Structure 1
């Protein structure tokens, strides 16, 4: 048995115990584990697989629960898709339920910790999503410009968001096919109505809204948040 195989078997033996606390107005967070190993992996087929293998020193799962009918999810937060967590938290504003998966590796977060939305099976968040009529996911795209692409199966809310964002001076467009988020397997479309909204923000827009992870928000954040909150009061 080689060292690579031994590492995988060892990681699979590490228990990951997380429980969803629906109905409690509190934050939930997964327990710490051993430090992340320096190993390259292909994209995981599911978050369940990722959490069995990747030690939690390299990632963080958290959620905050309110009585709002909306849940805001940042599935690729932290250093996976930069500033998506900060944007999701600004939108939630302490009023809406939110759920985050954040990459915390020193480098290589996207290739190692990114799991596509159709395979993003974080049960703690899915429980909260299924119990609410509205779900909104915040993603990052490498496409050029300062644009927010609006997708997901909830075309009514999507159209309202597009109009509200444009009214605040943002360039908002219908998401192209490669990031449209229309699959019923996409976690955002598993809310109580079976149709959520997926926002894909370009890198330039995300870094304009939040120039740094820990510093002050950019001047356009209040307008962006006001536009979204006008659709989800």
Structure 2
């Protein structure tokens, strides 16, 4: 996850209007309990959109915000999770109990490079379930103090329950998953199961 380049969606749209980059939004409202979102998809945090859609499958709500092209390579079109206010996304949040946000992070300096950093207000329980579900795949699952995602303004905590989950997936992990459809399926099935164990339907 990067720092803010734009403070809100209005600033973002103004920059897009100046042809700095081109964005798309994709949303399916299928469930009032779970929504999987990737607010930094496409060229911002590559691979997060595809992972989010795979977790959602055919029955859960999802929201994807993607930058699909930009005119200058040094542009970083990024709105942090606490400031993200794209209208379609806010509408989904207001009608969904819990949110799972998928983000991309830089690789750590030490090994292993493939890491899953768990955040959100439900991070402690989510970490426990996710470690169990991902054990067979050998990915390191942990809570990173830099990405706790515990702010009430964080997009993952803005569902109606105010209890959400967040994943920061390192670049090496995302690269490994995107090149292996079978691994993508196993990974996202495990995340989906852990999410539902963390926030079960009453």
Question: Do these two structures clear the TM 0.5 threshold for a shared fold by scoring above it?
Answer: yes
Q: Structure 1 93/182 Cα, relative in aligned 2: closer, same or farther at 3 Å? A: same
Given that 1:131 and 1:192 are in contact with CA atoms closer than 8 Å, whether structure 2 keeps it comes out as yes
Question: Where do 5+ consecutive residues of structure 1 fail to align?
Answer: 1-41, 212-216
Task: Choose the corresponding residue for 1:73, options 37, 43, 50.
Answer: 37
- Cα offsets for 1:121-140 (capped at 9, x unmatched): 11211221222111000000
The match for 1:166 is 135
Given that 1:150 and 1:162 are in contact with CA atoms closer than 8 Å, whether structure 2 keeps it comes out as no
Q: Structure 1 112/196 Cα, relative in aligned 2: closer, same or farther at 3 Å? A: same
CA distance in 2, matches of 1:225, 1:52: 35
Q: How does 1:72-111 map to 2 (within 5 A)?
A: 72-106=36-70, 111=75
The match for 2:159 is 191
CA distance in 2, matches of 1:109, 1:134: 35
Q: Structure 1 109/197 Cα, relative in aligned 2: closer, same or farther at 3 Å? A: farther
Larger-Rg structure: 1
Give the secondary-structure state (helix, strand or coil) at the position aligned to 1:44.
coil
* Count of matched residue pairs: 186
- Cα offsets for 1:84-126 (capped at 9, x unmatched): 0010011111211000110112465784311111111112112
CA distance in 2, matches of 1:143, 1:67: 33
Question: Where do 5+ consecutive residues of structure 2 fail to align?
Answer: 197-202
- Cα offsets for 1:172-194 (capped at 9, x unmatched): 111x2222211111111111111
The match for 1:201 is 169
User: TM-score under structure 2 normalisation?
Assistant: 0.83
User: TM-score under structure 1 normalisation?
Assistant: 0.72
CA distance in 2, matches of 1:83, 1:90: 11
Given that 1:80 and 1:109 are in contact with CA atoms closer than 8 Å, whether structure 2 keeps it comes out as no
Give the secondary-structure state (helix, strand or coil) at the position aligned to 2:138.
coil
Given that 2:32 and 2:97 are in contact with CA atoms closer than 8 Å, whether structure 1 keeps it comes out as no
CA distance in 1, matches of 2:135, 2:155: 26
Deviates more, 1:136-145 or 1:61-70: 61-70
The match for 2:200 is none
1:52 aligned to 2:14?
yes
Give the secondary-structure state (helix, strand or coil) at the position aligned to 2:26.
strand
